[in-house]
Amino acid sequence: MVRKEIVDFTGITVGVVLMTVSLNMFLTPNDIAPGGISGLAIIVHSFTGWPVGMLTLAFNIPLFIISILLLGAKFGIKTFYATFLLGATIDLMSFLPVLTHDYLLAGVYGGILMGIGLGMVFKYNATTGGTDLAAAILKRFFPQVSIGMLLLIIDAVIIGLAGFVFSAEHALYALIADAIAIRVIDIIQEGANDNRAAYVISDLSDDIEAEILTKLGRGVTSFPGRGGYTGKERKVLFCVISKNEITQFKEIVKGVDPDAFVVIFQAHEIMGEGFEEI
């Protein structure tokens, strides 16, 4: 348990440092304000010159207080740690050099680093407060609206404000950074593997199963199924394959039963024998 906590806090710390690098070396100096409290802090910084880290903390503190009053203290010590560490490191690491003044490069690399950092924070069971807390508070007053939609609205407002303050061009670069960050977060959370899962329905399921086991060396799970239209009982096969095995898999099925019904779809994270460890 202690070891897990050490790993979690170490991962959160590394993630926060990467977020700081993203902000200080790419986004803030180029007035690229992606969604979130950090984006709002960049906007205010452009007017006042106040430190972005201090502004991040200043915006987060009232959100924490309101969320505790309305929702209870359920956000945990790790979120408090990540939030206050981010505010501190942004200012403490203000000495970092600006690597580029090309807006596109800043948006792309800033988004990548922000995504890796925030993805690590999420992976180790924390958030950096900010719009997560704001969305949770708004959810209390607008229960019919999903958290995801509230987050999208908040980010859209902040990016729109950045477009008004800086320029429409800056807002477009902020959208690029945001989109890249979201994609990278998904990769960190779900894994970067590009595997596929497949269902096969056929009158020759036993033969197809044997061919997959022999030629691909992949495990196959079978279970009974019944056609909703025909009412016919058939065995359904389920198999997980790599992207490189898709063509061979289809050839195997076609070679046994050209009339088989096959569904192949992307599987984001696969764990177990033959793939990643759980």
Q: Domain locations in the chain?
A: 2-190, 195-267
Residue 100, phi then psi, degrees to nearest 5: -155, 150
User: Three-state DSSP class for 179?
Assistant: helix
Helices (H), 146-245: 147-165, 168-190, 205-211
Name the percent of the chain lying above pLDDT 70: 91
Question: 41 pLDDT exceeds 80?
Answer: yes
Q: Which two tokens stand for residue 184?
A: 């990278």
For domain 195-267, the CATH class is alpha beta
pLDDT of residue 127: 82
In the block, residue with structure tokens 């890796």: 116
Burial of 209 (0-12, 13-18, 19+ CB in 10 A): buried
How sure is the predictor about 75, in pLDDT bands with cuts at 50, 70 and 90? Answer: low
The one-letter amino acid at 49:
G
Q: For 133-169, write each residue's pLDDT tens digit.
A: 788 788 888 888 876 678 778 888 999 999 999 999 9
Indicate whether this model's pTM tops 0.95: no
Nearest to 111 by CA among 188, 22, 17, 42: 22
pLDDT of residue 147: 66
Q: For 235-248, write each residue's pLDDT tens digit.
A: 999 999 888 888 99
Residue 148's CB is within 10 A of a number of other CB atoms, namely: 9
The CA-based dihedral angle spanning residues 167, 173, 178, 179, taken in that order and rounded to the nearest 10 degrees: 130
Question: 68 pLDDT exceeds 80?
Answer: no
Name the percent of the chain lying above pLDDT 90: 54
In the block, residue with structure tokens 């046994």: 256
